[in-house]
C-alpha cells in the first residue's frame, strides 16, 4: 500500500513539472525562454522551470532564458495574436510593452468573450439534445413531459440569445480586427 502511495505521489509531482528530464538536461534555455515568450508566459515561469530542473540536478541559465523570452515576446506581442489567443481560450498575462498593453488586453478580452460564448453554446446544445432524448422516453408522466417541454423552450430561448450575442460579438471583433490592421505594431 505504501509503494502505491509513493508511486501516485511521484506521478502527481511529475505532472506538475514544467519541463521533462530531457529538456532540463539538454539545457536549451534560450529555446525554452523563446517558447515561453511566444506562449505569452511571464518571466516568473523560469522559477517553475528551475524547480523542475532542480529535481534532476540540472542547472538553469537565466540569462539565456531571458534573452529567448524577450525574442519570443516579439512574436507573441503582435496585435493579431491577441485575437488568436483569445479565441483559443487563453487570457493575456500583461507581458507586452506598455505602449500596446492596454490595446492587446482589450483585443484579447474581446476575442476571449467569443470563446466563452461558443463554449456556452456547446453546453446549451448538449442540454437541448439531452432534454430531447429524455422527452422521447415512453414512461414519462404528463407532469414530467410538461416540465421537459418547458425546459426545452427555455433552452431554445437561451440558445437564441447566445447566437445573437455571438453574432454581435463577432461583428465587433471584425471591427477590432480592422482597427488592428490600421495600427502599427512595435
- Contact partners, residue 103, CB within 8 Å, separation at least 6: 79, 82, 180, 183
Q: What is the pLDDT of residue 5?
A: 43
DSSP class of residue 185 equals P
Other CB atoms within 10 A of residue 11 CB: 9
The 3-state DSSP class for residue 93 equals coil
Q: What is the pLDDT of residue 8?
A: 37
- Residues (pLDDT < 70) of the chain are 1-16, 184-186
CA distance 62 to 69: 10
Q: Pick from 102, 163, 101, 103: which is nearest to 128 by CA? A: 163
The domain spans of the chain are 18-76, 79-186
Kind and range of the H or E run holding 117: helix 98-135
Give residue-wise pLDDT tens across range 152-169.
Answer: 999 999 999 999 999 999
CA distance 117 to 86: 12
CA distance 183 to 80: 11
Q: What is the pLDDT of residue 184?
A: 62
- Helix, strand, coil in percent for the chain, rounding step 5: 75, 0, 25
Amino acid at each position: 500500500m505504501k509503494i502505491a502511495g509513493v508511486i501516485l505521489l511521484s506521478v502527481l509531482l511529475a505532472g506538475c513539472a514544467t519541463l521533462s528530464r530531457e529538456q532540463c538536461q539538454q539545457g536549451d534555455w534560450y529555446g525554452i525562454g523563446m517558447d515561453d515568450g511566444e506562449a505569452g508566459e511571464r518571466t516568473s515561469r523560469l522559477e517553475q522551470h528551475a524547480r523542475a530542473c532542480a529535481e534532476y540536478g540540472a542547472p538553469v541559465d537565466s540569462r539565456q532564458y531571458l534573452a529567448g523570452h524577450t525574442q519570443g515576446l516579439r512574436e507573441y506581442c503582435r496585435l493579431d495574436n491577441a485575437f488568436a489567443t483569445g479565441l483559443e481560450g487563453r487570457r493575456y498575462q500583461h507581458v507586452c510593452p506598455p505602449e500596446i498593453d492596454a490595446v492587446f488586453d482589450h483585443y484579447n478580452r474581446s476575442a476571449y468573450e467569443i470563446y466563452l460564448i461558443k463554449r456556452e453554446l456547446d453546453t446549451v446544445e448538449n442540454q437541448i439534445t439531452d432534454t430531447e432524448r429524455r422527452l422521447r422516453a415512453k414512461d414519462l408522466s404528463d407532469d414530467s413531459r410538461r416540465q421537459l417541454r418547458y425546459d426545452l423552450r427555455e433552452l431554445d430561448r437561451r440558445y437564441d440569445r447566445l447566437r445573437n450575442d455571438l453574432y454581435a460579438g463577432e461583428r465587433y471583433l471584425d471591427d477590432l480586427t480592422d482597427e488592428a490592421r490600421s495600427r502599427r505594431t512595435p
